A and B are shown apart, each in its own frame.
Chain A
Amino acid sequence: MTQKVKVAITVNGTLYERDVEPRLLLSDFIRHDLGLKGTHVGCEHGLCGACTVLIDGHSARSCTLFAVMVDGSEIKTVESLGTIDNMHPLQEAFHEKHALQCGFCTPGFLMTAVEYLEGNPNPTAEQAREAIDGNFCRCTGYENIVEAVQLAAKKMAAH
């Protein structure tokens, strides 16, 4: 019989108690079990960063973790940032700077940048570039993403 493990995981402020198979990836738990499709899955082996979420405040790939490993943790996905009518300053900045084209990579960049800006409120372009070095974007060429991260920093400081 397939083993199931009881987990209690808080995602975007809601506590979910589920029985899951140990091999269920956190990315699949978020997307399939909880239906939160904002977290994207590109490579599924830790390389592209599309699946980045925050675990107890720290960015991590959700595809290189089993859901059972984050039992008791608090997860934040891109859905926690803002809504179309009430965007997070980072989302506004991505919008204004055209920092996305197809948008597949965007949730990962946002969740990476949100952690980064908390500890680094005023990055130079070089620092912003370094902050996103674990995320792939196949469309934009990164320039506008770097500008958006810097603009977001300014917006967040003004808030």
Chain B
Amino acid sequence: MKPAPFDYYAPTSLSEALDKLTELGYSGKVLAGGQSLIPAMNFRMARPTALVDLGKVKELSYIKPTADGGMAIGTMTRDSVVEEDLLVSERFPILVKTIKHIAHKQIRNRGTFGGAIAHADPAAQLPAAALLLDANLKVLSKAGERWVKAVDFFIGPFMTVLEPEELLAEVVLPPLAPRTGASYQQVSRQKGGYAQAAVISTVTLDGADRVKEARVALFSVGEYPLLASKPNQVLAGQVPTAEAIEEIAAYVAKNECDPGTDIHGTEEYRRNLVHVLVRRALTEAVQQAKK
């Protein structure tokens, strides 16, 4: 189908874009890579009155190292640019692995890093990665800037704390501690398809191979990506054993996710997937941390 008509604005600077969003208020919507918004408009599931296209706002597209060893990524940076960036692969190899699971090359060439986070699809990889990596999100409006932690950003399926006159400008990833291993695990019907359940984790070990921190983010099994609390409760300060990991996986599957039933799988099946995937993810992250 074809999208309904809308007013189109293509600002060439950030300040122009922010002015326009303020002027439009509730009738304005940001257009980033278009890889989620345009299919929805083609279906007429979305019918925005006006679009503010950030494609010509070059100052929103960059990848910069931060002095503490982390990274700052401009919202309009294409997924494939992040995927191929050498510094990202050095500092956040897990991010590269995660991005490769997003759709297909043709979509990653257009879809944007910040756009995926702002879109807040409960089945999407990057919101979960932002949560896992404790990202700090820079939100701008004409009135000024505010910083929101990923854990406070998502409030429902496709819902975030962003106001209509605001945009997500930058994603800052704090550095991973030394001896941090990570793992990406998902089950989907075919490669590039949305996951039926997926888990990303990091585990940081101390010099005696005891866990300093264990983080587990789940997605496609709730209204937004979830950070499980049990893994760190059980593992912190301990040498991780297979038994402890198994206990965590069973607990998280039962108590720390909220999967639904749809044509791709039942709730029960998805809980079973979470159980298996959390076990695999923690096991692999521990192995990686020891390397």
Contact = CB atoms under 8 A, between A and B. Distances in A.
Instruction: Specify whether A and B are partners.
Output: yes
Interface in B2-43: 2-8, 10, 31, 34-35, 38-39, 41-43
B210 interface: no
B39 A2 contact: no
Contact of A58 (B5, B31, B80): B80
Nearest to B40: A45
Contacts of A116: 105
Given A23-B6, A64-B110, A69 B103 contact: no
A64 B39 contact: yes
A21 interface: yes
B39 A134 contact: no
B104 interface: yes
A148 interface: no
Given A45-B39, A46-B107, A61-B106, A23 B80 contact: no
Contacts of A59: 105-106, 109
Given A46-B107, A69-B34, A112-B105, A23 B53 contact: no
Nearest to A70: B55
B157 interface: no
Contacts of A28: 2
Classify chain B's interface size.
20 to 34
B290 interface: no
Given A63-B42, A64-B110, A71 B35 contact: no
B5 A2 contact: yes
Contact of A60 (B1, B5, B109): B109
Interface of A: 2-3, 5, 21-23, 25, 28, 44-46, 49, 52, 55, 58-61, 63-66, 68-69, 71, 112, 115-116, 130-131, 133-134
19 contacts: A23-B6, A23-B41, A25-B3, A25-B38, A25-B42, A46-B38, A49-B104, A58-B109, A60-B107, A61-B35, A64-B42, A65-B34, A66-B8, A66-B34, A68-B53, A69-B53, A71-B10, A115-B105, A133-B191
